[in-house]
Amino acid sequence: MDNETKEQLKKKLTDEKEKICELLEKMTNAKEFNKDKVQVRIDNMGDKEEDNAIEVANFQDSMSLERDLETNLEKIDNALEKIDKDDFGKCSKCEKDIRPERLLAYPEADLCMECASKKK
């Protein structure tokens, strides 16, 4: 993969990382994130039973979203690290090159399509 394409993908990953970090900061009031630790805050909506049910449902949704965002952040960080180490675009399972079309669509991909389809 040529350097221009790598730089384009690095910018795309960096921009996405910034967006995810902003969302996570709003959700958690934290500056560092760990997918193994729940940091999302729970909103107190009232003392009634239906209020409590809404609080729990909202918390569960937020907790799930937080975990997804943190997982995506981890994938982006891994891809950026691979770019910096000049190891970007290789399948982490079979070591073959990941097709540029896949990386342009999903730059944080660490598996080629063949290995990704076997994983499911």
> What residue type is 40 in one-letter code?
V
Task: Report the candidate in 5, 3, 12 with the shortest Cα–Cα distance to residue 106.
Answer: 12
Which are the contacts of 40, defined by CB distance < 8 A and separation ≥ 6? 27, 28, 59, 62, 63, 65, 66
Both structure tokens of 72? 């995506």
Predicted confidence (pLDDT) per residue in 57-100, tens digit: 766 777 788 889 999 999 999 999 999 998 899 999 999 999 99
pTM of the predicted model as reported, rounded to 2 decimal places = 0.77
Decide: 26 and 17 in contact? Cβ < 8 Å.
no
pLDDT beyond 60 at 35:
no
Residue 105's pLDDT band, with cuts at 50, 70 and 90, is very high
CB neighbourhood size of 118 (10 A): 11
3 state SS of 95 = coil
Domains annotated for the chain, with CATH where assigned, are 3-119 (1.20.120.910)
